[in-house]
């Protein structure tokens, strides 16, 4: 079913796929069978041309004049994003950010199941956090393998992040979402995404500072 | 000093400015006086052409053959991003995500000062959270104005988000970072950024699902 894709894709396009996916979930709930690129664009403050370009990237959808079939398009985007399956996720570092993220309901809703929690704090190890026993980070490498963890959320302090990251990579994990405010080195075949909340605020301070500038996605 | 800018800029470029800013802080610490576009690109896994294009957008920097002056470029990007001043920030909703973000040290480091916290939970109102007294959300509108809050971080449940957002807009706030997993409506002159952690994980599941695809920024 899924076509083999071997082209370059911008990170912005991938991000918009997630946006379209959520819009289509809403449209399905509202009872829509089809949606035009124009209407989908309007809802997400994009141009119809952008929507058509993004979606045509993955093959042809929709019929001219009739729009996209909501259910099928949603299902196809789910396949493309890898949301038609479950992903075993581990969280390393159960501090402020980590413990907040464990409670983030949308992870499980999208198929990201937090299976393991790790920390190096003896007071935390062995305790139950939202239904998951916190494991000793000393056992992380073997447990990541045994539990077939494919994605790790890294929420350790900046000073510890590279060492922990190296261990995660050695355990064979190919996808890391890093919250530590530090630039990590990983091999080319590991997908590293850096999440920095301050950078989001900088986007807003940019907007407030440059009010005469038009931003586009 | 700051040149008047009146062009279109992509959100990716704005994001990269924050990345360059951090790289330049590191380079300054390491004692570099100048940096070439090639070296800066290599550090951030970008192309030199991309770096030059992003930076030339804001006027000419650097000297051919000598590279960019680290300190001046850092200072100039700080001006562009609005980081050469302090911003008064309020956080609305002191649940899991909100309370984690209050502890996020990089906010203050970049000039984003959390001045006010709001919640509607009577058990939280009046209590001291990391040095800030949590205020009643019923008094939010007037307090946002009195304290000249320019940026609000919205971390209330999805069901309450639009109503609270409307009040924030009525208080004259022009920049909102929304963590509620819901699509909010704001007037055109309000900058709304939606932060969704699940979308970050979807980026990783996309990468794992489409390994033969090259992603670019």
The last residue of one of the domains, among A54, A81, A108, is: A81
Cα distances from A49 to residues A77, B16, B28, B207, in angstroms, run 18, 25, 43, 25
Q: Is some CB atom of chain A closer than 8 A to the CB atom of B216?
A: yes
B29 vs A: CB within 8 A? no
| Residue A70 shares a structural domain with residue A114 | no
B146 and B98 within one domain: yes
- The strand pairing partners of A87, in sequence order, are A112
Residue B207 forms part of a structural domain: no
| A2 within domain boundaries | no
Residue A74 and residue A95 in one domain: no
Query: Among B81, B112, B139, which residue terminates a domain?
Result: B81
Q: B40 lies in a domain?
A: yes
Query: Do A64 and A134 fall into the same domain?
Result: no
The pLDDT, as a whole number, for residue A35 is 94
pLDDT value at A92 more than 60: yes
Instruction: Express each pLDDT in A22-75 by its tens digit.
Output: 999 999 999 999 999 999 999 888 899 999 999 988 777 667 778 899 999 999
Domains: count for chain A = 2
CA distance A28 to B95: 30
In a domain, B187, yes or no: yes
DSSP chain B: -PPP--SEEEHHHHHHHHHHHHHHHHHHHTT-SEE-HHHHHHHTT--HHHHHHHHHTTS--SBTTTBEEHHHHHHHHHHHHT-SS-EEEEEE--SHHHHHHHT-HHHHHTTEEEEEEEES-TTTTT-EETTEEEEEGGGHHHHHHHTT--EEEE-S-HHHHHHHHHHHHHTT--EEEE-SSS-----TTSEEEE--HHHHHHHHHHHHH-TT-EEE-
* Chain B residues closer than 8 Å to A106 by CB: 181, 196-198
Task: Please identify, among B34, B64, B81, the residue that sits at the C-terminal boundary of a domain.
Answer: B81
CATH number of the structural domain spanning residue A190: 3.40.50.720
Considering only residues A141 and B64, tell me which one the structure prediction assigns the higher pLDDT: A141
- Asked if A141 reaches chain B (Cβ–Cβ under 8 Å), the answer is no
Q: Are residues B34 and B132 in the same domain?
A: no
Same domain, B45 and B91: no
Residues A176 and A194 in one domain: yes
Q: Exposed e or buried b for every residue in B190-215, given b needs 16+ CB within 10 A?
A: bbbbbbbbbbbbbbbbbbebbeeeee
Does a structural domain hold residue A3?
Answer: no
Answer yes or no: is A52 within a domain.
yes
Regarding whether A108 and A24 lie in a shared domain, the answer is: no
- Residue A145 in any domain: the answer is yes
pLDDT bracket for residue A212 (50, 70, 90): confident
Instruction: Tell whether A58 and A109 lie within a shared domain.
Output: no
Q: Which residue has the higher pLDDT, A181 or A127?
A: A127
Q: Which residues of A touch B12 (CB under 8 A)?
A: 10-12
| Most A-contacting residue of B202, B209, B212, B213 (CB-CB within 10 A), to test interface | B202
Answer whether residue A6 is part of any domain: no
User: Is the same domain home to A71 and A98?
Assistant: no
Token digits of residue A201: 């605020």
**Domain interval for residue B135:** 87-199
Q: For residue B26, what is the domain's CATH number?
A: 1.10.10.10
Question: Which of 52-71 (A) contact B at CB < 8 A?
Answer: none
Q: Are residues A108 and A182 in the same domain?
A: yes
| pLDDT, one tens digit for every residue, chain B (217 residues) | 445 544 788 888 999 999 999 999 999 999 999 999 999 999 888 899 999 999 988 777 667 778 899 999 999 999 999 999 999 999 999 998 898 899 888 899 999 999 999 999 999 999 999 999 999 999 999 999 999 999 999 999 999 999 999 999 999 999 999 999 888 999 999 999 999 889 999 999 999 999 878 777 6
Q: Which of A8, A97, A212 sits opposite B214 (nearest CB)?
A: A8
Distance from CA of B67 to the nearest CA of A (A): 22
Instruction: Give me the interface pTM, i.e. the ipTM.
Output: 0.91
B8, B21, B203 ranked by CB distance to A193: nearest:
B203
Pair B31, B131 in one domain:
no
């Amino acid at each position: 079913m899924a076509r083999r894709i071997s082209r370059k894709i911008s990170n912005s396009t991938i991000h918009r796929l997630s946006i379209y996916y959520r819009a289509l979930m809403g449209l399905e709930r509202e009872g829509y069978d089809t949606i035009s690129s124009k209407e989908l664009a309007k809802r997400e403050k994009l141009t119809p041309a952008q929507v058509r370009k993004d979606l045509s990237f993955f093959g042809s959808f929709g019929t001219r004049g009739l729009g996209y079939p909501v259910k099928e398009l949603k299902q196809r985007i789910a396949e493309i994003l890898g949301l038609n399956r479950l992903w075993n996720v581990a969280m390393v570092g159960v501090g402020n950010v980590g413990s907040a993220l464990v409670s983030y309901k949308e992870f499980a809703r999208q198929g990201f199941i937090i299976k393991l929690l790790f920390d190096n704090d003896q007071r935390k190890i062995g305790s139950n956090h939202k239904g998951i026993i916190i494991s000793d980070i000393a056992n992380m490498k073997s447990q990541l393998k045994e539990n077939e963890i494919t994605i790790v959320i890294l929420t350790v302090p900046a000073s510890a992040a590279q060492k922990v990251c190296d261990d995660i990579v050695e355990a064979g994990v190919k996808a890391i979402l890093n919250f530590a405010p530090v630039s990590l080195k990983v091999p080319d075949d590991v997908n590293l995404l850096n999440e920095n909340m301050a950078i989001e605020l900088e986007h807003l301070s940019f907007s407030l500072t440059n009010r005469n500038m038009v931003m586009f996605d």
